[in-house]
Structure 1
Amino acid sequence: MDAPKLHPILDRPYEYDLGDFRYHIDREDPGASFIEMTLCKNSDSLRLRFWQPINLKIEEGFPQATRGMVFYDRTADGLEDIKVEVADFESSWGAITFCARSVEKIG
């Protein structure tokens, strides 16, 4: 089996610290629900919005930095509403994992 393809939204997300985490749920329109994360590295920060997230799991140890964060492009899997996966390749404490329909940079 081939290794999953990395998503191009951010190179080496495991080098960033989590500065902010927000989960907005829209019960009337699940497609409008999102997770927004601010990732910080040195004096730079980047905000990412993941649309229509599912299967969110936050492990014990959160909000400590997760140094194994990785984003996979799941487009080739053929699933209608899962195109990106947030995973942790180190199985470190405080890992955040979920899947989403899409991701975009904000701001």
Structure 2
Amino acid sequence: MSLTDDPDLQPILFDLFLSMYLVTVLGNLLIILAVSSDSHLHTPMYFFLSILSFVDICFISTTAPKMIVDIQTQSGVISYVGCLTRMSLYAIFVCMDDMILTVMAYD
């Protein structure tokens, strides 16, 4: 099942999702780099912020690349094992995200 069958919209969707994925990954990598390079930011709050950024990179990387490839190849096929793996990783990263945000709220 695809987002649209209109061939005119597929390059727009590809560009949109690819740019959102790249901005998310690069933004989170910049946060990790800033926290690790500045010694003033070596506090527990910024440590958890860098972990949260890493989890966000993992979280977005479980779904977005497959969707981008599917839009480009116009294929929506996924194996049972691939689907199970993606859903399991998605659930793990959502739980980790919630756990880190909870810890940061009490910090």
**TM-score class, shorter:** under 0.3
Q: Over alpha carbons, which structure has the higher Rg? A: 2
Give the TM-score of the pair, scaled to structure 1. Answer: 0.27
Larger relative contact order (CA 8 Å, sep ≥ 6) = 2
Give the TM-score of the pair, scaled to structure 2. Answer: 0.27
**More helix by proportion, 1 or 2?**
2
**More strand by proportion, 1 or 2?**
1
